[in-house]
Copies of this chain bind each other. A is one copy, B any other.
Amino acid sequence: MSPATSLQQAYDRAAYPLTGHRARNLQVLKDALSEWEDHQDSDIYGSGPLIEDFQAKMATFLGKETAVFFPSGTMAQQIAMRIWSDQLGVKRVAYHPLCHLEIHEEDGLKKLHGIEAVLLADKERVITLEDVRSMKEEIACLLIELPQREIGGQLPDYEELVAISRYCRDKGIKIHLDGARLLEVLPYYQKTAAEVCALFDSVYLSFYKGIGGIAGAILAGDEAFTKESKVWKRRHGGDLISLYPYIVSADYYFEQRKDQFPKYCEDAKELARYYNECRFFATRPVEPVSNMFHVHVQMPKEKLEPLLLSVYEATGVALTHYLRDDHNGAGCYFEVSIGDRYAQVPKESLKQAFHILMNELI
């Protein structure tokens, strides 16, 4: 058995996994479907009340004219970049070096759309107004990800965001929000989704991150933009005859969790404090600004893993299902994203888990 397998297995078997909402199994869909009548009609190629009502609801929530449901954020965001590029006649956009389009999409933006990317900021921090100002290349669109997932969910100050938005609009640059985890940052900014989205020309929201649906995404913007996005959705092969399995689950878990994010964010701060009390452990950011953060450990994976396994075994509390080598060398790290599960962990068990971790590391 590989070490990676065994950590995952121990996590799956543990009484108290700390991260996420629940297991990704078929019950997730069955629960969502149970709210609907059997004779409810499917959506048909983007039409019908089931999809149209949900799109209208999300447009209102995001404060945009219209919204379109997509099977994935990868598809939705490439299409947003394509529409703005075509509209401005500039085949170039700008984003962070650890943007989803740069590292998780097999270069789809270039290979399918012929769009080049300018990488702003460095890999350790978020994009600033100064990064945008000092860009030499002409671009059609600036993509901002809130929070910046791959660096522990960091955020710019809200004033900085407002200034970036104003700058882009002054210069005729479109500004797009990768809001895969938009609900996760609203408690920190103390803003509504619509207030944040007002700074952007187009917005994408995911339904299987903090919301915990099965898959699917919303792309929102003005009428002309979303109309064109539907044509591209057809071209991409995303205009499925039925998207309802994703829509019913998106709606169900959106309703169930949309008001829980302040709690998740507070829980994330609490858990980060536990980690930061452990020798060799440090969270990034030190104080989380969303429901997520990264845990960096100055210890090789091979040494940390047996220690974690002993904690899971002794307390039932499972901290992570994986460890990844740190880019910097000798250490490792993992991501923490707080959902429904955290509140179900007995405080005594949690304390005991960190007590063992601290004592073992003295």
Contact = CB atoms under 8 A, between A and B. Distances in A.
Interface stretch (A29-37, A52-60, A91-99, A126-134): A29-37
Interface string A66-85: 00001111111010000000
A169 interface: no
Contact of A24 (B71, B72, B242): B242
B44 A25 contact: no
B38 A33 contact: no
A41 B24 CA distance: 6
A236 interface: yes
Interface residues of A, number: 51
A42 B25 contact: yes
A25 B245 CA distance: 11
A106 B46 CA distance: 15
A113 interface: yes
A344 interface: no
B30 A107 contact: no
Given A38-B30, A215-B241, A231-B106, A75 B236 contact: yes
Nearest to A28: B42
Contact of A38 (B25, B71, B108, B238): B25
Interface string A233-267: 01111111111111010000000000000000000
B245 A29 contact: yes
A197 interface: no
Contact of A238 (B28, B40, B237): B237
Contacts of A72: 237-240
Contacts of A36: 26
A39 B24 contact: no
10 contacts: A24-B42, A25-B39, A29-B33, A74-B234, A106-B235, A108-B236, A108-B237, A111-B235, A112-B236, A215-B242
Given A29-B33, A33-B33, A73-B237, 18 more contacts: A23-B41, A24-B44, A24-B241, A25-B41, A26-B40, A27-B39, A28-B42, A70-B237, A71-B71, A72-B237, A72-B240, A74-B236, A74-B237, A74-B239, A75-B236, A106-B232, A208-B242, A245-B245
